[in-house]
Amino acid sequence: MSAAVVDFDYDVAGGLGAWQEGLRSRSGLTASIMADRAYLRADLAEDAGLAGLRLLHSGGLHPLDGAPLVGDIVLVDCPQADDAERMDMLGLGRCVAKSGAQLVVSTTFDSLEAVFGCLPQRAVQILVAPSRSERLIALGRALPLAANRVRELSDEDRMALLRLTEEIAQMASRLERLTAAPSHALPSVAQASSPFQFGETREVRRNEEGSERLLRATRPALPDPRLVRRIIRQRQHRAHFFDGELFADPAWDMLLDLTAARVEHLRVSVTSLCIASGVPPSTALRWIGQLIDAGLLQRVDDETDRRRAFIALTEKAADAMAGYFAELGPMPNVLV
């Protein structure tokens, strides 16, 4: 779907443009754009300008002469799996992580696995077939994080940056209302893996002599995966009768999917988990990042292909899910 044409003059007319320029000149916040599609480079440059960023570099996804021109925020278009391999060969993810910059990568659902596998876990936002509003929202999130690496930013500029972030969010919300389209959840597809160990956690304690010994503390077993899969189907079935957004709960839907997969000894790809979440992929990826930060999910690299990664429950999350279902007790027909 093509992006709607929106007049942004109302923002500049309200005085936004003047302190945008002031913030750009004082803070030194910059943007780099790497996109093979010329029209998209122009759109990204315009978005960066609206965010008060000075454009440091704009070009294709190819090696640069000399040192890479990495701005405070790096915008990359990576629509094909081959592009992900090129990005990996350039070492862009490592370079951005080392510099402390924020990376925003646009890709397609078909190429998501390749892109996710070759990028670092932190300081990265991955957008899947993003609308302009989603790109603006991503810039709004990246701005305060990028500003942290600019030590000379004054309190006045930080307040201006906060106002600018709010303005970007408002513009994105307006665009979202104009371009919103319903999304439909699809069943998750998991992949076979090696078995896990369940029903046990380990704790190290010291005896009276001071030596350590390993104790096994039992925890409730994870629920029958058939029960969890039935709960997932019941939750998805509501979308046949109601607007799915009324019941959107991506964190819980992903935790349920991963709980069943863990008992079934299956590995779950990031694309599969995005589908299981029932929300657009870009939104699902943000939730995955938050759940990783919260210590509930973990990224598990593929031993046979370093460009591929899976998502799994942490022990903390597995304990919590086991305890939750144990607390509920038998529930053959309960919708959770």
Instruction: Quote the tokens at residue 289.
Output: 């990042």
**For the chain, percent of residues with pLDDT exceeding 90:** 30
Looking at per-residue pLDDT, the higher value among 78 and 99 belongs to 78
Question: 197 or 332: which carries more pLDDT confidence?
Answer: 332
pLDDT at position 185 is 41
Over residues 131-150, the pLDDT tens digits come to 888 888 888 888 877 776 54
pLDDT recorded at residue 292? 92
Name the average pLDDT for the chain. Answer: 75
pLDDT of residue 184 exceeding 50: no
| In the chain, where the domains are located | 9-179, 220-328
Q: In CATH, which of 3.40.50.300, 1.10.10.10, 3.30.365.10, 2.70.50.60 is domain 220-328?
A: 1.10.10.10
pTM score, whole prediction: 0.71
Cα 206 to Cα 211: distance, rounded to the nearest angstrom? 5
- Name the token pair of 261: 């997969």
Average pLDDT of span 47-61: 87
So what's the pLDDT on residue 178? 57
Tell me if 72 sits within 8 A of 30, measured CB to CB. yes
* 3-state secondary structure at position 214: strand
Q: Are 243 and 279 in contact (CB under 8 A)?
A: no
Strand pairing report for 200-206 and 212-218: antiparallel
Q: Do 275 and 316 form a contact (C-beta atoms < 8 A)?
A: no
pLDDT given at position 202: 42
What is the rounded distance in angstroms from the CA atom of residue 38 to the CA atom of residue 208?
71
5-14, 44-53, 103-112: range with lowest mean pLDDT = 5-14
Sequential DSSP letters for 42-80: HHHHHHHHHTTPEEEEEE-SSPPSSS----SEEEEE--S
- Identify the residue whose tokens are 């294709």: 60
In 3-state terms, what secondary structure has residue 334?
A: coil
Beta bridge partner(s), residue 269: 310
Residue 7 binned pLDDT confidence (cut-offs 50, 70, 90): very low
Average pLDDT on 249-270 reads 95
231: pLDDT strictly greater than 70: yes
The predicted pLDDT at position 190 comes to 46
- Per mean pLDDT, which of 66-80, 194-208, 245-259, 321-335 is the most reliable? 245-259
Confidence of residue 41 (pLDDT cuts 50, 70, 90): very high
Q: Model confidence at 51, in pLDDT bands (50, 70, 90)?
A: confident
C-alpha closest to that of 117 among 129, 102, 105, 101: 105
**Amino acid identity of 118?**
C
Count the Cβ atoms, other than its own, within 10 Å of residue 17: 16
Among 117-126, 182-191, 254-263, 299-308, the least confident range = 182-191
pLDDT exceeds 80 at position 164 = no
What is the pLDDT, as a whole number, of residue 263?
A: 95
Q: What is the pLDDT of residue 139?
A: 87
pLDDT surpasses 50 at 71: yes
Of 8-22, 55-69, 216-230, 246-260, minimum mean pLDDT range: 8-22
Domain 9-179, classified CATH 3.40.50.720, yes or no: no
CB atoms within 10 A of CB 125: 25
- Give the N- to C-terminal CA distance of the chain in Å, as an integer: 35
Is the pLDDT reported for residue 34 higher than 80? yes
